[in-house]
Structures are given as C-alpha cells and as structure tokens.
Structure 1
Amino acid sequence: MAVDWIGYGYAALVAAGGVIGFLKAGSVTSLVAGLVFGLLAAAGAYLASQNPKNVWLSLGTTGTLTLVMGFRFLSSWKFMPAGLVTLASGLMLAKIVNEMLKRRSRKE
C-alpha cells in the first residue's frame, strides 16, 4: 500500500495555516478550523493509504475547504490565507478525482 504523502502534506499545510492565523491575528476560529480540518485531512490520507478506494473523507474535506475558502477569496481577493488554501484544496481535489477516474477506467 502506498502512503498518501501528498495528503499528509496537505493536512499539515491546513493545520499550520490555522496555527499561523492564531499567532498572527489571535483568531481562535482559525486555530480551531485549521486543526479540525487538518485532522480530518490527515485521517483521510491515512484511510486512503490503507485502502486507495477509501477517499470519501478526503474528498469531503477538500471539497468543503475549496468552497468555503474560495468564497472567502472571492469576497476579499486576498491571496493569504484564503487564496492559498483555495489553490491547495483545489489541487488536492483534482488529484483525488483524477485517481478515482483512473481506477474507474481500469475497472471497465
């Protein structure tokens, strides 16, 4: 079984972003959201590492962050932090969907 290093890296980025938001702006909301979503992303990476078909937690986490942070980015047009998280989440979402489609095409 291959370890989902990209998923773990993404989880670390999300969690670190929450911690940085707390340290720079004193935002407890950023800290809690970053740690919760980072933990969910890490759990999703772990599940995908155990079974490559088990991507649903990763898919839900990245999809939610893509939408929420995408709306924040569109309302503020500030790249940090909303744009960066939107970009990272969108790339992660594309990776997950691409892997799902590859598995589906190999089945047929």
Structure 2
Amino acid sequence: MLSGEESLYICFEMAVDWLGFGYAAAITLGGFLGYKRKGSVMSLIAGLLFGSIAAYGAFMISNDPAKTFYSLVASGALTVVMGIRYKKSGKMIPSGIMAGLSLLMVLRLLLMGVFAI
C-alpha cells in the first residue's frame, strides 16, 4: 500500500496527453462544423463518435503511455477515410486537413510505442 506522500508523487508523475485531447477536440469540432454549415447529421455523428474514441484514447495514454490502442484506432480510421475523401474531392478543407492531422497522430503514436519499449 502506498502512503499519502508516495501516491501524491506518483500522481504528479503522470503526464496529460494534451496533443491527444486537442486532436479529439478538433475531430469533434469538425463534426459539429460540418453539421452547422452543411446540415450533415452523419458528420456530426462521426465527429462525436471518433472524437469520443480519441478523447478516451488520450485519457488512457495519460494514465499509461503504452496504452495507445484507442487513439490508434481513431486516428488510423480517420487517416484512411479522410484520405480517400481528399483523393476523390481534392478539397483541402476539411478532408485534407483531417487526413493530415490524423496521419501525424498515427506517426506520433507509433513513435510513442517504439520508444516506450
């Protein structure tokens, strides 16, 4: 059992995954903006779903940096889906930006996994 001082020390050792939470917020905001501008309910649902998964992944990484699974699922799926949409439409906003952000997040998470071993 940990004493109060030891548990307080361990609590301060955990780093918050601010990039992960920011990425989750960007996904959620993008889904909301797609709904407001174009009336796309599917954009809202996808933004809320993938934003929630990414936020949960950031929470998991904040508790244990080796737990990158949920963040990888969200960012990997968005890289593929938004990359395909960007290739079809050629429009940088929103699909190109989200595909790029998601790819950067995938690379970050893979590097975290490599260096955590």
Q: TM-score, normalised by structure 2?
A: 0.87
Corresponding residue number in structure 2 for 1:5: 18
Which of 97, 104, 109 does residue 84 from structure 1 map onto?
97
- Give the drift of 1:52: 0.7
What is the Cα deviation at residue 30 of structure 1?
0.3
Q: Which residue of 2 aligns with 1:17?
A: 30
> 2:7 aligns to what?
none
For 1:2-81, list aligned pairs within 5 A.
2-81=15-94
Query: C-alpha distance in 2, partners of 1:86/1:32?
Result: 18
Q: Write out per-residue CA displacement over residues 22-43 of structure 1, whole angstroms, 9 at most, x where no aligned residue.
A: 0000000000000110010000
**What is the CA–CA distance in structure 2 between the aligned matches of 1:76 and 1:57, rounded to whole Å?**
28
Which has the greater radius of gyration? Answer: 2
Q: How many Å apart are 1:103 and its aligned residue?
A: 1.7
Structure 1's consecutive aligned runs of 4 or more residues displaced over 6 angstroms after TM superposition are: none
Deviation, 1:102, is 1.1
Q: 5+ unaligned residues in a row in structure 1: which ranges?
A: none
